[in-house]
Structure 1
Amino acid sequence: MSTLIVVAHPDPTSLTHSVAERLVGALPSDQVELADLAAEGFDPRFTLADRHSFRVAGEYPDDVAGEIARVERADQLVLVFPVFWWSMPALLKGWIDRVFANGWAFGVGEGSGIRPGLGHLTAHLVLLAGSDAGLYDRRGYHVSVETQIGTGILDYCGIQRGLTEFLYDADAGASDADIDTVVERVAAAIRG
């Protein structure tokens, strides 16, 4: 098994990065890759080149082709990110917009509707939540995440759903025990 952990946070000293790094440390070093989108300078803007790729179902820009190759090396994908406005940061959303492209992550047109392309991949979500679980329950955040990300991205591309783990009260600083619990659950799911 090979795992790609994608982290989207501009501050390398953030709790988001700490959780991602701890997860990297919980997996065999030769079977895990960390993609730090901010540090790597990934451009999340969907351009005319991306629009062209969508229309022709291929001919991906070089940076997108490199990310596609990175995802293709993985069996497990872990997205680690803070919750912004009931979803993911723009950097991660832009990565998905550009990388999960027509002709590779899915196919459209010519007959039978949407054809998912990433059935070999299992995705796990680790969301750092600024509030407590009670607020997330009352406001329907869990349903929002399942709809926007689970149905709208993972299911659309045929990606198998792994764990969705929330690390609550992240703005106040999560405890080491809470971080360890989330990291171990995800690592155990990856190890099978």
Structure 2
Amino acid sequence: MSVKNVVDNALIVTAHPVANSLSHSLAAGIAGYLRDQGTQVEVADLHAEAFSPAMSQTDLEVYHGNAGALPADVLREQQRVERADMLVFVFPVYWWSVPGLLKGWFDRVLTLDWAYKMTEDGRVVGNLRQVPVRLIATAAGDPEGFDKHGYTQAIHTQVVEGVFHWCGLKDTKLDIFYQSDAATAEQIDAFLKNLTSTM
């Protein structure tokens, strides 16, 4: 089934400070592919937009369930998510996880009673509309090293399960481009082609 038939709008979130980085190149390639399929694409460049990852007092009030207006930047990101039929996150691996900027996006944007809720008996229920989520990570290390030390599983546990499954998004896939610092143009093209063929 093609993207054209199932995805009208996609949101691509990037978290790399360098505009001509591999992360941005992959994001641009994915955006181009989706647009060719007839999908409307919005790109949230968190660095270029100066998104603040730091939790504020207002953010913590929301987290603790106290009524109040969401910060404007958080509301903007939530509206982007609500418009999207697919979420794509493209980021480098820093210390075996997502960059602090993207972690802060998770912390601030995926709020209680919007992304998830607590039931009266203490269970967590995801609130987000079921859409596919693609996590595209670039990593300097090789897969053998990641697997030997459990880093691939750690990212899966922390982000795939601990963030997206928590919010009800079960169709979440992680792709890691290993040894990306030394990748050739041919390897980058092959990785991108493989990514888009599964979207």
TM above 0.5, one fold?
yes
**2:33 & 2:189 partners in 1: Cα distance?**
10
Give the whole-Å Cα distance in 1 for the aligned partners of 2:81 and 2:194: 22
Q: 1:62 to 1:87 in 2, by over 3 A?
A: same
Residue 19 (structure 1) shift: 1.1
Q: Which residue of 2 aligns with 1:133?
A: 143
Which of 156, 162, 165 is the equivalent residue of 1:152? 162
Residue 81 of structure 1 corresponds to 91
1:14 match: 21
Contact residue 163 and residue 189 of structure 1 kept, 8 A? no
- % identity of equivalent residues: 39
State the SS of the aligned residue for 1:157: coil
Q: Which 4+ residue blocks in structure 1 deviate beyond 6 angstroms?
A: none
Read off the aligned partner of 1:22 and give its amino acid letter.
G
Corresponding residue SS for 1:26: helix
Corresponding residue for residue 110 of structure 1: 120
Question: What are the ranges of 5 or more consecutive residues in structure 2 without an aligned counterpart?
Answer: 1-6
Note the aligned Cα RMSD (angstroms): 1.7
Residue 177 (1) aligns with residue 177 (2): no
In the TM superposition, residue 109 of structure 1 has moved relative to its aligned partner by: 5.0
* C-alpha distance in structure 2 between counterparts of 1:57 and 1:26, whole Å: 42
Question: Equivalent residue for 1:93?
Answer: 103
* SS of equivalent residue, structure 2 residue 23: helix
Give the equivalent residue in structure 2 for 1:31.
40
Post-superposition Cα deviations, 1:102-158, rounded to whole Å, max 9, x if no partner, equal 011001253352110114222111110011222112121111111111111011001
Shift of 1:18: 1.1
Give the structure with the higher percent helix.
1
Look up the SS of the partner of 2:91 in the other structure. Answer: strand
Tell me what 1:3 maps to. 10
Name the CA shift for 1:66/1:19 in 2 (closer, same or farther; >3 Å): same
Match status 1:52 vs 2:55: no
Instruction: Name the counterpart of 2:177.
Output: 167
Superposed displacement of residue 26, structure 1? 1.2
The TM-score, its normalising length taken from structure 2, stands at 0.88
Query: Within 1, Cα distance between the matches of 2:172 and 2:197?
Result: 11
Match of 1:187 in 2: 196
Which one is further off, 5-14 or 109-118? 109-118
* DSSP-derived class of the 1:56 partner: coil
Q: Which moved more, 1:43-52 or 1:27-36?
A: 27-36
8 Å Cα contact 2:160-2:173 kept in structure 1? no
